[in-house]
Amino acid sequence: MLFHTLAKTVGAYSDKTAIVLGSRSLTYDELLMQIEHFIDRLRSLNVGEGDCVALVLPNSIEFVVSFYALASLRARALPLNPILKADELRFYLSDNEIKAIITDTERAVLCRQTIGQLAKDDIALVIANEAEDAHDTPSQHASNRTFYTAQEPFDGPVIYQYSSGSTGQAKKVCRTQKNLVSETEAYVNGSGMTAADNVLCLVPLFHTHGFCKCMLASMATGATLVMLEPVVRDGVTVEVPFVFRAQRVLELLEQKHISMLPATPYIFGTLAETTEDVQVDVSSLRVCLTGGNFLPEATFKRFKQRFGLLLRPAYGSTETGFVTLNMEPDDEVRYDSVGRPGKNIEVRITNGTLEELPVGSVGEIAVKSPAMAKGYLNVAELNHEAFRDDFFFTGDLGKKDGQGRLYITGRKKIFIDSGGEKVDPLELEHVLTTHPAVSEAAVVGIAGPYGGQAIKAVIVPAGELTELEILLYCRERLSDYKVPRFVEFRNALPKSPLGKILRKDLIGSSGSSVADTASSSGGDSTIRTRILALKHDGMQAEHFLELRIRERIATLLLLDVAEVDAQRPLGELGLGSLKAVELRNWLEVSLELTLPVTILWSYPTAASLAAHIVSTLRRSIAAEERVAAEALDLSNAHGEKGIALQGMAEIERLSEAEVQQQVDVMTKEIWKNDATGAADNGDLSSYLSQIEQMSDAEVQQLLSHENRNNP
């Protein structure tokens, strides 16, 4: 069915551009020709009906070609996250009877090694982006096409997908070609997509969000699918945070006349934070569809203010595919409503049965859809609970209003939202407990200051164990977004009388916390104090902050500081989107500055970032008027000798806030006078020199109540 749907599109729009990726582009006719060549390549490997073939590919033309070739052969695709680590890849390959793996040159080594570890020599490895000789003549090409399209449409199994599991393992579903065609029709009908649209794909195609709303829908309607090209350095693809791609995305929106943009709240939030001086024409953009996570009201408002466009929330799942989309009239669009169900889709708010609750009541969301999977293949014991009477009970909580619009209010399940990625804490707990020095482990999500959650692991050790050991152990076995950001050691986990872990009691800190929350999320108060104490020596201040930024990056990436080159773009060092946000948050709290999400885009190296922040701090201080007179009259209160002659004993008697205030006030006065050419501050400058020469511990002690209590 899917191949025939594409063939019909080619018949109507053969010369129209189908896919654009960087400098590459294919018309629909050229795309179908590549698919047909790839079909022949797979047939030569005896790939046929019922065979499972893993796709370990990034967003690419090869992904589209591979999937439609498999659909034509009636094989079953297993799209996997291309950034999986070896242990994760091995799980998925061993959980399926794999006939072949389709990947690219960059991931071929990992795939080949994994095949060897599984001792399955019969698994073929296909490098999709390797050039293949093609000698078909036009007549042969036409003959092939006639053969493929003459086949009887097949509506059977075509794709295996995994849903985040609440049972300690990912749950596998199988959906048919008929399921996918139904899902695509419902989405196209709801969104109004046509051949006139240009769709920008920023979300992964291995995920249902991008798979349907970008690839399937575009290929079914004749729209043009534009993909964000990867960053390549020295011939190697480099994973960089989305914040570094924001400018390129804005360029694509304008240059490619993008009309539909399916993305996530994080992506839209980052675009909304781009500075106003970055001008972009988005007059062609008519639908901005957000999914994959809850949409914060602040993101909804900021995006509208920045671009004059509304974000339209959608809802769906791996098990059901597309379910709802908010395409209400502009004046009725709400950030917290995911809209009404699509064509032939039914949504009920239940109390665990099929009886629907009254309007406005909160209950579990149950979905009935022709796009829905029939059940889980690898955890069949869950099917009687999740799949009942043709409905799927999602585990999400929601309500409906009087017009039938759906609102998501929460989740029954314990997934952690790590930057838009769903993390099953039980999967992570399983990995942790395989460490020989871990007796018990529990994982929870703790709220981040800018939305989303950070992963916290609470561990009962069975022997000597450090945070670094835990982080490295997880990093070797899990994708980066699954690695904990906080590690806490306890003597025991809190449990109910029946032995159930009381996860709410794990969110706060208790026992010995190895993760220093002051430095991990709350910032480091000594940094700001030291920078202020460096007076007008901008280079010294920059070098100091540059070192601290490098140290912080090393901590986030589990590197040695020497490996963090101050002149190298942070994205090339491996700083992903989640850690980029953490770095920005840490700088904000440490320096008491408000920094835009896009600061790492504008200043992508540790050196340029430090120089910009020090310059910003100096300008903000120089611009303040009457600071010294309002907070502390230096000359009148202490005469010509100034505060320096109070001595450290007197300073120790001040409160933390008073010490910080005096340090800031004195330093601001110096910096302001430096900027205006005022006279030297004499003993005041001498006092600040004392601070420069203190160790971090001494500065921290000066700013703490311990100094007063222990004179």
Give helix then strand counts, H and E, for the chain: 28, 28
Instruction: Tell me: pLDDT of 628 over 50.
Output: no
Which regions of the chain carry the CATH code 3.30.300.30? 416-515
Against a cut of 0.75, is the pTM above it?
Answer: no
- Per-residue pLDDT at 479: 86
DSSP annotation string for 258-325: --EEEE-HHHHHHHHTS-TTS----TT--EEEE-SS---HHHHHHHHHHHS--EEEEEEETTTEEEEE
Q: Which residues contact 493 (CB under 8 A, 6 or more apart)?
A: 440, 442, 458, 460, 501, 506
Q: What is the mean pLDDT of residues 692-696?
A: 57
Q: Which residues contact 519 (CB under 8 A, 6 or more apart)?
A: 555, 586
Mean pLDDT value across the chain: 83
Q: What would the pLDDT profile of 361-383 be if each residue is shown by its tens digit?
A: 999 999 999 999 999 998 888 89
- Per-residue pLDDT at 90: 94
Which regions of the chain carry the CATH code 3.40.50.980? 1-11+25-152
β partners of residue 451: 449
β partners of residue 198: 224
pLDDT > 70 fraction of the chain, expressed in percent and rounded: 78
Q: Phi and psi at residue 26, in whole multiples of 5°? A: -135, 140
| Greater model confidence, 651 or 96 | 96
Q: What would the pLDDT profile of 117-140 be if each residue is shown by its tens digit?
A: 998 889 999 999 886 554 454 545
| Greater model confidence, 641 or 384 | 384
> Computed from CA positions of residues 358, 360, 364, 369, in that sequence, does the dihedral angle turn out positive or negative?
positive
Q: What would the pLDDT profile of 412-470 be if each residue is shown by its tens digit?
A: 667 787 766 778 787 898 899 899 999 889 999 887 544 567 889 999 999 899 888 99
Q: What is the mean pLDDT of residues 622-650?
A: 46
Q: What would the pLDDT profile of 487-528 be if each residue is shown by its tens digit?
A: 999 988 887 655 567 887 888 765 443 333 333 445 666 788
Q: Are 183 and 318 in contact (CB under 8 A)?
A: no
- Per-residue pLDDT at 497: 57
Q: Are 607 and 564 in contact (CB under 8 A)?
A: no
Question: Residue 256 — very low, low, confident or very high, per pLDDT cuts 50/70/90?
Answer: very high
Closest CA to 295 of 455, 482, 452: 452
CA distance 462 to 456: 19
Instruction: Tell me: pLDDT of 650 over 60.
Output: no
Closest CA to 547 of 574, 515, 524, 578: 524
Closest CA to 288 of 194, 421, 209, 191: 191
Q: What is the mean pLDDT of residues 326-337?
A: 95
Question: Residue 295 — very low, low, confident or very high, per pLDDT cuts 50/70/90?
Answer: confident
- Per-residue pLDDT at 75: 98
Closest CA to 580 of 328, 239, 329, 288: 239
- Per-residue pLDDT at 689: 54
Question: Three-class SS of residue 591?
Answer: helix
Instruction: Tell me: pLDDT of 559 over 70.
Output: yes
Domain 416-515 class, CATH top level: alpha beta
Q: What is the mean pLDDT of residues 307-323?
A: 97
Q: What is the mean pLDDT of residues 80-102?
A: 94
Instruction: Tell me: pLDDT of 645 over 50.
Output: no
Strands, sheet with 453-461, edge to edge from the N-terminal-most edge strand: 438-447, 453-461, 486-489, 512-513
Question: Three-class SS of residue 92?
Answer: helix
User: How many CA atoms lie within 13 Å of 638's alpha carbon, on the beta-carbon side?
Assistant: 15
Closest CA to 490 of 466, 474, 510: 510
Fold of 525-709: 1.10.1200
Q: What would the pLDDT profile of 12-54 be if each residue is shown by its tens digit?
A: 999 999 999 999 999 999 999 999 999 999 999 999 999 999 9
Instruction: Tell me: pLDDT of 683 over 60.
Output: no
> In sequence order, which ranges of 558-682 are alpha helices (DSSP H)?
577-591, 599-602, 606-623, 627-631, 634-638, 647-652, 656-676
Closest CA to 365 of 334, 335, 390, 399: 399
Q: Which residues contact 669 (CB under 8 A, 6 or more apart)?
A: 627, 628, 634, 681, 684
CA distance 511 to 456: 14
For the domain bounded by 1-11+25-152, which CATH number is listed?
3.40.50.980
